[in-house]
Amino acid sequence: MSYTNSGKREDGARVASLEHRLLTERNLRVLGGLAVLGLAVLAVLGLSVAPPDRYQGDAQRLMYVHVPTAMMGFTAFAVTTAASGLYLWRRTRNAHWDRLAVSSAELGVVFTTLTLGLGMLWGKPIWGEYWTWDARLVTTAVLLFLYLGYLALRRMIADPGTRARRSALAAIVAFADVPIVYFSVDWWRSLHQKGTLVNGGRFDPQIHGTMLLALLWGFGAMGVAYVYLLARRYLLVEMEEGIEERMLDVAIAERLAEAELDQAASVVETEVV
């Protein structure tokens, strides 16, 4: 890649060069390979090595993907929020935080949607229904909407500085809400569940042995996949912002050229007269 662009943007954020020391193609390929390998091993662990659950049978095997994707969904949001904060704080203001925020947000949408889908597939055989109004599912659904709002807001703002600042504020304000959502829904649902059966979909904290191993491996494999995808997405954002800037430069150059032509034409006119 030959395109480089360093310097400051109008919002004062420093724009980094597109050449990276850590995010080289080779490193990323290795990381991608590790992600694929990790997920493949997870499949083996989760689908055959781990024994079927005593109460839920084989349906419980979805836990090995569902819980890790949920974890990564929440982590991605936390990363977006932290990056937003770092962008807004003058001392650390830098465009790369903004790029990290949007990349992580998009990943968060992917992981959170997966989480909800997997949750539905797990719920149907266990609870008999695709959806249940328990605190975790509802909070995850709200989280998805918060992400979608964040991404929609970004799409509507053309100026990079304004876009970065407003979406950073939106991310932080939304993040503050998540605990309130969780606790209020939890309160609400616990009031409705007095005396009912134990929710079979609940994460059993007493699992051990190969099941625990598979789950922990799941966290690791999904974590690697998240980091890999995040890095790739980040680089893409960099490139697309570079294209944006260049398009702007071209447009400005065209305007200036037009203006000069107009000026030259009017000079000719006055001379003729």
Partner 1 sequence: MENANYVFTGWVMTGVVLCGYALRIAFRTRRAARSLGSGSVPQ
Partner 2 sequence: MRRLAAEALLVAGKDLRIEMRSRVVLNQVLPFGGLVLLLFAFALDPDRGLLPRVAPGLFWTAVLLAALLAISRSFAIESAHGARDGLRLSTLDPAAVFFGKALGIVTELLALEIPLAVGMFVFYDLEGQGWGILLLSSLLATIGLACAGAVYGALAGGLDVRETLLPLLLLPVVAPVMLAATRAWEAALGGATADAWPWIQVMTVFAVLYAALGALVYGPLLEET
Rule CB under 8 A: which residues touch partner 1? Answer: 1-3, 32, 39, 43, 46-47, 52, 57-59, 61-62, 65-66, 69, 110, 113-114, 117-118, 121-122, 124-125, 225, 228-229, 232-233, 235-236, 239-240, 242-243, 246-247, 250
Q: Residue written as tokens 């569902």?
A: 66
Which tokens is 271 given? Answer: 């001379």
Q: Residue written as tokens 């266990």?
A: 126
Residue 240 partner contact from partner 2, partner 1, none using kind-dependent CB cut-offs of 5 to 8 Å: partner 1
Residue 159 partner contact from partner 2, partner 1, none using kind-dependent CB cut-offs of 5 to 8 Å: partner 2
Q: Are 181 and 202 in contact (CB under 8 A)?
A: no
Nearer to partner 2, 152 or 261 (CB): 152
By the 10 Å C-beta count (0-12 exposed, 13-18 middle, 19+ buried), 121 is classed as: middle
Residue 163: partners with Cβ closer than 8 Å, 6 or more residues away: 98, 154, 157
Q: Residue written as tokens 């993907």?
A: 65
248 touching partner 2, by CB under 8 A: no
Nearer to partner 2, 43 or 157 (CB): 157
Q: Looking at this protein, which amino acid is placed at residue 257? A: A
Residues in touch with partner 2 (CB under 8 A): 11, 88, 142, 145-146, 148-149, 152-153, 156-157, 159, 161-162, 165-166, 169-170, 172-174, 176-177, 180-181, 183-185, 187-188
